[in-house]
């Protein structure tokens, strides 16, 4: 143990002589705090520094050489991590409880806007999952090369959203702890990049794939009630920070403004369910029968599209119909092909490299039969399912060829399932440019399939077709201005994209006995919403997924939902009030001062005169220690 060490603390040595009165009010420097107190005292003695003294105040000599601090700072590892990661302020002396500057407030607003935009962007790509294949096909038409264009978008969106969310949480922690916001410049660069790339992405998607935004309101029919509960929970949690700020605020106008803003948002959230409309909020007795599923180009997720194996796989999934696209070969044979060229779904680049960019209709049927229509599926794996196929399935897929319409009709007739096809007119120089309707109709009649199983979609020469084949189900691919116009033309069925028919329109079509089929429906949530809306049938690339959905994902009675959201609102309001009361009580109880609050400008602030008085009490109290020669000061 050390012997009789000269020291007065919190006096600080500022030069070769004794400390001045000004040094009494100054905290020890960072180097002083960074060492063990026994080591500090030992160094003082060994260097034989002059003993500090303060005026004529008599002091008593200590018998123990270990300094006893008046101010003990707890290690704040959590706070150091928060301020360090957010603003690179790892040291205690770097942190501040002063008001955030206007410049940093502006950056906080930019961070909030970026977070909100990325949240919307992430939600958009979540609900667009149903149409990823459509987006990739769209990119293929522009670039001529097949690739999964959604993968880099999803990766960058996930990384950006995680990063911005982390910064938002750290910013809220700063506010809760009363720390000054000071975003590091590297984070400012990161936020700027995230904001800029997201804005560019939104603009790009709006210009090239704008109709996909129509899916957002449809998705809210499935997620709206649950998003509302999540939003209420989030805003309720924010009440802890808001209540703390209000309780510690010194200006009444600031308290009033914050309270008005917060409770306005809260009340608005409480009333959101009044505007939520979802077909899945209904009496279970009113639920229509399960929509029929048509195989869109067969089972396109399990086999190469528009091949015989794809249609056979779809039939194994209990589909009630098959939907495809038809082109006409140079010698007048209708065949199945979705694209205008053969590059994506055949090996035309290998067999006919000089003709790979030619229109699909420019090939005769003999040449088309030479092409392989399955290898591309194993190579490109457009849905990420090829790797899970068995060796036998891969062998079958590798031997697939281009399928004719007659082959499909024969298969459908044998399995007694319906067929819906979109007929593409050949180019003007094609021999069948004027006779395309007759040649296709001739193939249908020749196949021997029941006419009631075939949905005829071409608008051209519809009257003539009805005379030649009155049993065909006349269908339309275009949404009419009114259902009356469909009935006048003898149309009894429609095939449109799922975002082109509202719940009200679906009910009107059903009441007028117009069979509606919506494409392309792959995700269970979308299938559930359309089921609750009363859609009779959908076309899907994933019949193997929809077959496992015997009931809508969720279905709730209106009175049950009313009880749910009212209960959530009441619980939220009770929690908010309790938090405000607790924060007020907690703030009013902070009447004592500690040294750290004084020296580091803590969040609980007092007038400067009170602070000075407290400092004097700390210095001149009976806890002030000294050394060398004397008795306790009677004046103290």
pLDDT tens figures, 286-301 = 999 999 999 999 999 9
Three-class DSSP category at 457:
coil
Enclosing domain of residue 263: 98-275
467-473: average pLDDT? 95
Confidence band, pLDDT 50/70/90 cuts, at residue 481: confident
Q: Are residues 63 and 204 in the same domain?
A: no
DSSP string, 557-605: -HHHHHHHHHHHHHHHHHHHHHHHHHHHHHHHT--S--HHHHHTT-SS-
pLDDT at 270 over 50: yes
Q: Is the dihedral of CA 89, 90, 92, 94 positive or negative?
A: negative
Query: In sequence order, which residues have a C-beta less than 8 Å from that of residue 558 and are 6 or more positions away?
Result: 281, 282, 283
Q: Are residues 69 and 104 in the same domain?
A: no
Q: Are residues 37 and 156 in the same domain?
A: no
Q: Tokens in use for 100?
A: 């955030």
pLDDT tens digits, one per residue of 491-512: 999 999 999 999 999 999 999 9
Q: Are residues 153 and 270 in the same domain?
A: yes
Query: In sequence order, which residues have a C-beta less than 8 Å from that of residue 88 and are 6 or more positions away?
Result: 184
CA dist 473 and 459 (Å) reads: 13
Q: Is residue 624 part of a domain?
A: yes
Residue 72: predicted pLDDT: 55
Confidence band, pLDDT 50/70/90 cuts, at residue 487: confident
Residue 311: predicted pLDDT: 98
pLDDT at 6 over 80: no
CA dist 118 and 283 (Å) reads: 36
Q: Are residues 207 and 329 in the same domain?
A: no
Query: Which of 275, 300, 331 is the last residue in one of the domains?
Result: 275
- List the end-to-end C-alpha distance of the chain, in Å, as a whole number: 30
Q: Are residues 611 and 482 in the same domain?
A: no
Query: In sequence order, which residues have a C-beta less than 8 Å from that of residue 302 and are 6 or more positions away?
Result: 310, 313, 385, 389, 544
Residue 78: predicted pLDDT: 87
Cβ atoms < 10 Å from Cβ of 386:
19
Q: Is residue 266 part of a domain?
A: yes
Q: Are residues 271 and 330 in the same domain?
A: no
Q: Is residue 133 part of a domain?
A: yes
Q: Are residues 191 and 327 in the same domain?
A: no
Q: What is the CA radius of gyration of the chain?
A: 38
Q: Are residues 252 and 297 in the same domain?
A: no
CA dist 233 and 571 (Å) reads: 10
pLDDT at 602 over 70: no
Residue 563: predicted pLDDT: 96
Q: b vs e for 265-275, b when ≥16 Cβ sit within 10 Å of the residue's Cβ?
A: ebeebbebbee
Query: Which of 516, 546, 576 is the last residue in one of the domains?
Result: 546
pLDDT tens digits, one per residue of 318-336: 999 999 999 999 999 999 9
CA dist 380 and 139 (Å) reads: 14
277-288: average pLDDT? 95
By DSSP bridging, strand 334-336 and strand 321-328 are antiparallel
Q: Are 601 and 98 in contact (CB under 8 A)?
A: yes
By DSSP bridging, strand 537-540 and strand 515-519 are parallel
Cβ atoms < 10 Å from Cβ of 605:
16
Q: Which residue has the tokens 């060492």?
A: 35
Q: Are residues 113 and 172 in the same domain?
A: yes
Q: Are 542 and 563 in contact (CB under 8 A)?
A: no
Confidence band, pLDDT 50/70/90 cuts, at residue 367: very high
CA dist 284 and 287 (Å) reads: 5
Q: Is residue 147 part of a domain?
A: yes
Q: Which residue has the tokens 């560019």?
A: 200
Q: Is residue 560 part of a domain?
A: no
Q: In degrees, to the nearest 5, what angle opens at C-alpha 305 toward C-alphas 300 and 306?
A: 130
CA dist 376 and 350 (Å) reads: 12
DSSP string, 337-349: -SSSSSTTTS-HH
pLDDT at 133 over 90: yes
Query: Which of 546, 564, 596 is the last residue in one of the domains?
Result: 546
Q: How many domains does the chain have?
A: 3
pLDDT at 607 over 50: no
184-201: average pLDDT? 97
CA dist 460 and 423 (Å) reads: 11
DSSP string, 238-307: HHHHHHHHHHH-S-HHHHHHHHHHHHHHHHHHHHGGGG---TTBS-GGGPPPPPEEEEETTTTTTS-TTS
pLDDT tens digits, one per residue of 91-101: 877 788 788 89
Lowest mean pLDDT among 138-152, 321-335, 413-427: 138-152
Query: In sequence order, which residues have a C-beta less than 8 Å from that of residue 610 and are 6 or more positions away?
Result: none
Residue 476: predicted pLDDT: 95
φ, ψ for residue 334 (rounded to 5)?
-70, 130
Q: Are residues 258 and 317 in the same domain?
A: no
pLDDT at 68 over 60: no
What's the chain's length in residues?
636
CA dist 403 and 305 (Å) reads: 10
Confidence band, pLDDT 50/70/90 cuts, at residue 69: low
pLDDT at 486 over 90: no
CA dist 344 and 52 (Å) reads: 88
Cα atoms in the Cβ-side hemisphere of radius 13 Å centred on 164:
29
The answer for 102, left when phi > 0, alpha when psi is -120 to 50, beta otherwise, is alpha
pLDDT at 457 over 60: yes
Lowest mean pLDDT among 40-54, 301-315, 489-503: 40-54
33-59: average pLDDT? 44
Confidence band, pLDDT 50/70/90 cuts, at residue 621: low
Beta strands (DSSP E) in 361-433 are 418-423
Q: Are residues 391 and 471 in the same domain?
A: yes
CA dist 247 and 121 (Å) reads: 36
Q: Quote the mean pLDDT of the chain.
A: 85
Q: Is residue 589 part of a domain?
A: no
Query: In sequence order, which residues have a C-beta less than 8 Å from that of residue 625 and are 6 or more positions away?
Result: 7, 8, 9, 59, 62, 67, 68, 70
pLDDT at 223 over 70: yes
Residue 588: predicted pLDDT: 77
Residue 94: predicted pLDDT: 79
φ, ψ for residue 130 (rounded to 5)?
-60, -25
Q: Is residue 331 part of a domain?
A: yes
Residue 488: predicted pLDDT: 85
The answer for 613, left when phi > 0, alpha when psi is -120 to 50, beta otherwise, is alpha
Residue 163 to residues 79, 183, 190, 201, 538, Cα–Cα distance (Å): 19, 14, 9, 18, 39
175-197: average pLDDT? 94
Residue 71: predicted pLDDT: 54
Q: How many whole angstroms from its chain centre is CA 567?
A: 27
Lowest mean pLDDT among 246-260, 264-278, 531-545: 246-260
pLDDT at 194 over 80: yes
Three-class DSSP category at 324:
strand
Q: Is residue 208 part of a domain?
A: yes
Residue 618: predicted pLDDT: 52
């Amino acid at each position: 143990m050390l012997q009789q060490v000269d020291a007065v603390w919190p006096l600080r040595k500022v030069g070769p002589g004794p400390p001045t009165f000004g040094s009494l009010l100054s905290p020890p420097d960072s180097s002083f705090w960074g060492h063990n107190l026994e080591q500090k005292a030992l160094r003082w003695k060994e260097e034989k520094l002059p003993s500090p003294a303060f005026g004529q105040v008599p002091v008593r000599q200590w018998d123990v050489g270990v300094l006893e601090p008046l101010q003990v700072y707890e290690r704040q590892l959590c706070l150091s991590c928060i301020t360090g990661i957010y603003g690179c302020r790892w040291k205690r002396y770097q942190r501040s409880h002063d008001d955030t500057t206007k410049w940093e407030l502006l950056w906080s607003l930019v961070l909030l806007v970026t977070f909100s935009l990325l949240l919307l962007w992430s939600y958009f790509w979540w609900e667009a999952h149903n149409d990823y294949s459509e987006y990739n096909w769209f990119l293929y038409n522009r670039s001529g090369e097949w690739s999964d264009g959604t993968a880099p978008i999803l990766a960058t969106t996930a990384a950006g959203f995680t990063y911005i969310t982390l910064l938002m949480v750290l910013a809220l922690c700063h506010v809760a702890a009363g720390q000054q916001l000071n975003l590091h410049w590297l984070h400012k660069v990161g936020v700027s990049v995230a904001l800029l790339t997201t804005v560019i992405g939104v603009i790009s998607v709006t210009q090239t794939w704008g109709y996909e935004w129509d899916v957002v309101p449809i998705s809210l029919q499935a997620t709206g009630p649950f998003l509302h509960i999540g939003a209420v929970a989030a805003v309720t949690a924010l009440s802890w920070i808001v209540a703390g700020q209000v309780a510690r605020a010194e200006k009444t106008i600031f308290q009033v403004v914050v309270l008005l803003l917060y409770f306005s948002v809260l009340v608005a959230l409480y009333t959101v369910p009044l505007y939520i409309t979802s077909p899945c909020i209904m009496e279970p007795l009113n639920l229509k029968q399960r929509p029929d599923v048509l195989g869109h180009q067969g089972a396109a997720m399990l086999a190469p599209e528009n091949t015989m194996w794809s249609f056979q796989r779809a039939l194994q999934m209990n589909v009630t119909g098959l939907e495809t696209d038809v082109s006409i070969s140079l010698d007048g044979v209708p065949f199945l092909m979705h694209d205008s060229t053969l590059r994506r779904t055949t090996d035309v680049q290998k067999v006919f490299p000089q003709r790979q960019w030619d229109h699909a209709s420019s090939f005769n049927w003999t040449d088309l039969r030479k092409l392989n229509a399955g290898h591309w599926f194993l190579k490109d794996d457009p849905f990420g399912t090829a790797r899970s196929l068995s060796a036998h399935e891969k062998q079958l897929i590798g031997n697939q060829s281009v399928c004719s319409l007659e082959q499909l009709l024969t298969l459908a007739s044998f399995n007694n399932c319906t067929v819906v096809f979109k007929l593409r007119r050949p180019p003007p120089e094609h021999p069948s440019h004027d006779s395309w309707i007759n040649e296709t109709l001739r193939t249908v009649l020749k196949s021997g399939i029941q006419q009631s199983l075939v949905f005829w979609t071409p608008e051209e020469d519809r009257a003539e077709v009805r005379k030649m084949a009155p049993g065909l189900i006349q269908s339309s691919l275009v949404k009419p201005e009114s259902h009356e116009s469909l009935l006048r033309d003898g149309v009894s069925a429609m095939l449109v994209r799922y975002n082109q028919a509202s719940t009200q329109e679906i009910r009107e079509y059903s009441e007028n006995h117009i069979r509606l089929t919506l494409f392309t429906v792959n995700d269970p949530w979308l299938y559930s919403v359309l089921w609750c809306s009363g859609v009779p049938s959908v076309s899907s690339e994933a019949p193997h997924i929809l077959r496992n959905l015997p009931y809508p994902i969720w279905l709730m009675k209106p009175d049950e939902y009313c009880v749910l959201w009212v209960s959530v609102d009441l619980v939220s309001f009770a929690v908010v009030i309790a938090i405000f009361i607790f924060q007020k009580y907690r703030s009013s109880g902070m009447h004592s001062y500690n040294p750290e609050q004084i020296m580091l400008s803590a969040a609980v602030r007092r007038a400067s005169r009170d602070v000075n008085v407290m400092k004097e009490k700390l210095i001149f109290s009976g806890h002030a220690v000294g050394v060398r020669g004397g008795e306790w000061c009677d004046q103290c």
